[in-house]
Amino acid sequence: MRRFPALRRIIPAIAVGALVLAACGSDDDSGDAADDTGAPAGTEAPADPTESSGAGDCGATIDDGVLTIATGEPAFYPWVIDDAPETGEGFEAAVALAVAAEMGYEGDAVVWTRTTFDEAIQPGAKSFDMNLQQYSITEERAENIDFSLPYFTSNQAIVALEGSAAEGATTIADLKDVKFGAQVGTTSLAFITDVIQPTQDPFVYDDNVGAKAALEANQIDAAVFDLPTALFVSGVEIEGSAVIGQFPADAGGTTDQFGFVLEKDSALTSCVDAAITTLTDNGELEAITQEWLSDFTGAPVISVE
Amino acid sequence: MTDRPTRRERYERARRRRSAVVATVSTVVVVGALIVLVPLTPGWERVRQAFFDGDVFLETFPGLLEAFWLDVQILLWSTPFILIVSLLIALARNTRSPALFPLRAFAVIYTDVLRGIPVILLVFLIGFGVPALGLSRTWSNPLIWGSVTLVLSYSAYTAEIIRAGIDAVPENQRAGARSLGMTSSQTMRTIVLPQAFRKIVPPMMNTFVSLQKDVALVSLIGPVEILRQAGIDKATYANFTPYVAASLIFLALTIPFTRLADWALARQRARTGATTIA
């Protein structure tokens, strides 16, 4: 040890390292066999789910007698007007209140709360009964949470400043050299990386606010949002910008369907589905869409070849 | 002079050996207890799947490593600027001449303001705000303005460290230089600063390690560096293992640097003849 004093310091480190490796090895074997046995906190055993609506028939909510609906912080136009969903103004606010009414919760029995986009679609117990923030229904997300039936169908759309490299694009090939930006964890970002596949890596932001700021700072050529958001951004929020185009499914793009997010295996999911089916069948959902989104549905089509 | 160890040396060597054995045993016991007891907790399996998933780790690791290269680049080009700017600020702060008072005032304001504002705020203000004034595409690049933010913020901290180092150089050094007829700038350049820099190696290393992690803040304004890539992977896989993988990569960078600093410090202490128990 006198010749190699460093050895003295290494031996405890080696012992620790060997122990850790041994532990990791044995953990992998037992990992597959274990089930998730813990029940999610905050929900009771589901009541008998029926097709008819009515408070209490649907299953237990987090707070007895009250339906807790969550949305983003802040909630954007045209989904919620003035960040005040309890007024029922705005497409998503109106849809949420209509669904709640079908389920038997009205007026004071509906309570609003806020979450970030990300936390609601992570696995685990939730602080809400249902959440809506333009969540696209995807298989990956559905592994961790429950989606309701879709309440809206939207295409991806591109917003760019006038005179940018993206202007005048009619096919995906025209967009290959464009610098894109999008919000992290969204289907818009996945659309850029998987379908458009530009030559430059896109910039990624925590939220759409970052993407909009980057457009105005001339750091990106174009940002990708869902169509209504894109139309609002270009029409109202950023001067000198325009929606370059949208990508409908039949032109090879992807179509996003928005659904409510509920906790995995929630007792309320079937009730929410029943409510949405009723609203679709009696035309009320279409009426709400017309009322709040009629200004936000038209844009040129970009085809994918 | 023979090489036979003295009685004192043999005694001390035996004591060091014993303390090494005790250290090993106690470490093994503590780590062993953790490894045995933690998996017995009720939520362990879910936590393990959420944070230590082997498949997700293997799939995301190459992408994370690639994204980390951007962090390293930002670090490499920011550090020289931080050192230069902080040295200038520290020197400006130390001027005694009344004619240079505005310079001193500027340095004081610089360090106060830039240490007071959280780096996140600065990143958004400068990273989005400055390019929005109307710069061309190349000059708007968020990498430029993100790095500028890091340089501004960190140079305020390191300027104070350098100033402390300069103050720590004994006054007799300056007195001796004056009696030799050296000007104050010669004194600063050849006598004070070299000694000051030797003194401030530990806090500077601290700051450097902290900078390696704060580089991730540049991701707020767009560039996909390792923390952003881990966030994208987290959303894709609904799993936190990418963050664990990113932490390991960070450690792989910071630990060698801290050990290097310790070694440099020990070597310097040995050279100046300080007597310490190993």
CB contact under 8 Å between B238 and A189, yes or no, is no
Which residues pair with residue A67 across a beta bridge?
Answer: A110
pLDDT along chain B (278 residues), means of 10: 82 93 94 91 85 93 95 95 96 88 94 94 94 88 95 96 93 93 90 89 87 92 94 89 94 88 79 60
Dihedral sign computed on CA atoms, order B92, B93, B97, B98: positive
Does some domain include residue B123?
yes
CATH, residue B103: 1.10.3720.10
Q: Which of A165, A197, A164 minimizes the C-alpha distance to A305?
A: A197
Contact residues on chain B for A210, CB-CB shorter than 8 A: 128, 220-222
Does some domain include residue B30?
no
| Partner residue opposite B232 with nearest CB, options A15, A20, A184 | A184
- 8 Å CB contact between B166 and B215: no
The Cα–Cα gap between B161 and B211 comes to 15
Does some domain include residue B278?
no
The Cα–Cα gap between A93 and A134 comes to 11
Task: Output the pTM of the full model.
Answer: 0.75
pLDDT digits (tens, 9 = 90+) for A166-194: 888 888 888 999 999 999 989 899 999 98
Other C-beta atoms closer than 10 Å to the C-beta of B237 total 17
Nearest CA in chain A to B49: A31
Residue B235 structural domain: 55-271
The DSSP 8-state label assigned to residue A147 in this structure reads E
∠ CA A277-A280-A283, nearest 5°, is 145
Does some domain include residue B21?
no
CATH code of A67-152+258-295, in short, is 3.40.190.10
The alpha carbon of residue B269 is apart from the nearest alpha carbon of chain A, in Å, by 18
- Domain pair A67-152+258-295 / A154-251, same fold: yes
- pLDDT value of residue A127: 92
Does some domain include residue B276?
no
Domain range summary for chain A, segments of one domain joined by +: 67-152+258-295, 154-251
If you average pLDDT over residues A98-111, what whole number do you get?
A: 92
- pLDDT value of residue A124: 81
- 8 Å CB contact between A34 and B40: no
The domain total for chain B is 1
> Quick one: pLDDT band at residue A49, thresholds 50, 70, 90?
very low
The CATH label, of 3.30.420.40, 3.40.470.10, 3.40.190.10, 3.40.50.620, for the domain at A154-251 is: 3.40.190.10
Does some domain include residue B16?
no
Does some domain include residue B196?
yes
> Quick one: pLDDT band at residue A35, thresholds 50, 70, 90?
very low
Contact residues on chain A for B234, CB-CB shorter than 8 A: 185
High-pLDDT (> 90) share of chain A, %: 43
